Amino acid sequence: MSYKIEMADEILTFTIDRPDIRNAINEGVMEGFEELTKKVHKSNPRFVIITASGSQAFCSGGDLSVFHELKTKEQAYPMLKRMSEVLYAIKTLPVPVIALVNGAAVGGGCEIATACDYRLVREHAKCGFIQGTLAITSGWGGGSYLFETLQHDRALKMLSDARAYPADELLENGWATKIVRDDADIEAFIHSMKKIRPEVHRAYKEIAIRKWQASGLKDRVESEVRRCAELWEADVHHEAVDNFLAKAKK
């Protein structure tokens, strides 16, 4: 199984479990996220945590060894669309969603963390929207979510830098909620959340969801997905992916 879903102490934890390829997302992990969002609505947790196995990566984005076979916009769109719907379902969960960024979050991995309400980032973790180095944009909704999260100039800079930011820069630009140095830091954050009753957390999340619904966030995500699919079919994108995979084989 490429993921784990565990409930403990009223907290539902999803763990991407593909550490050998830096927790890259394939269809199996997408299925896991779809199962997670269904479980939230059934099991009524206080919070959701999304994290990953190992300490080297939270998520390295789409699994290039699989998705490089998608050549045209018609072939890429269904994958991008499916994961964009996963992230919108995560974004609009009725309870707080915490990304525990245990390592590098790049490309679609940065999009997943950005779809969460909070980002607790380990000191060594570097995170960034590196899609630009592959001549594409974010394609799962992460660009739209970043503009909802950061001050405009910081969001646009983080997207167009197309590089992984170290943890201190992520805290400075507002992407990281908190840098966590050890498990005690994580427990302290969870403890601070537990001081407030679940129904209050849910009511505040409802305010955010109403704002996103009123502002057409879902339509903005769809436009982002379509634009990424258009860029996807350019030779320059496929050459960049082939270069990455060729380097990996050395």
Ligand X SMILES: CC[C@H](C(=O)O)C(=O)SCCNC(=O)CCNC(=O)[C@H](O)C(C)(C)COP(=O)(O)OP(=O)(O)OC[C@H]1O[C@@H](n2cnc3c(N)ncnc32)[C@H](O)[C@@H]1OP(=O)(O)O
Residues that bind ligand X (CB under 6 A): 21-22, 24, 56-57, 60-65, 67, 80, 104, 106-108, 130-131, 134, 138-140, 228, 244, 248
Q: What is the DSSP string of 141-208?
A: SHHHHHHHHS-HHHHHHHHHH-SPBPHHHHHHTT--SEEE-SHHHHHHHHHHHHTS-HHHHHHHHHHH
**β-strand pairing of 3-8 with 11-16:** antiparallel
Q: Which residue, 97 or 112, has its beta carbon nearer to ligand X?
A: 112
* DSSP code of residue 2: -
Return the number of other C-beta atoms located less than 10 Å from residue 19's C-beta.
15
C-beta of 136: minimal distance to ligand X in Å?
6
C-beta of 137: minimal distance to ligand X in Å?
8
Q: Which residue, 52 or 134, has its beta carbon nearer to ligand X?
A: 134
Q: Which residue, 86 or 95, has its beta carbon nearer to ligand X?
A: 86
Q: Which residue, 25 or 217, has its beta carbon nearer to ligand X?
A: 25
C-beta of 84: minimal distance to ligand X in Å?
9
C-beta of 138: minimal distance to ligand X in Å?
6
Q: Which residue, 65 or 173, has its beta carbon nearer to ligand X?
A: 65
Residue nearest ligand X by beta-carbon distance:
62
C-beta of 244: minimal distance to ligand X in Å?
6
Q: How many residues does the chain have?
A: 250
Q: Which residue, 47 or 140, has its beta carbon nearer to ligand X?
A: 140
Report CA Rg, the chain.
Answer: 17
Which ranges in the chain belong to alpha helices (H)? 27-43, 64-67, 73-91, 108-115, 142-149, 152-161, 167-172, 183-194, 198-214, 217-232, 235-249
CA distances from 209 to 12, 27, 110, 179, 224 (A): 20, 27, 21, 26, 19
Angle separating helix axes 108-115 and 142-149, nearest 10 degrees: 50
C-beta of 61: minimal distance to ligand X in Å?
2
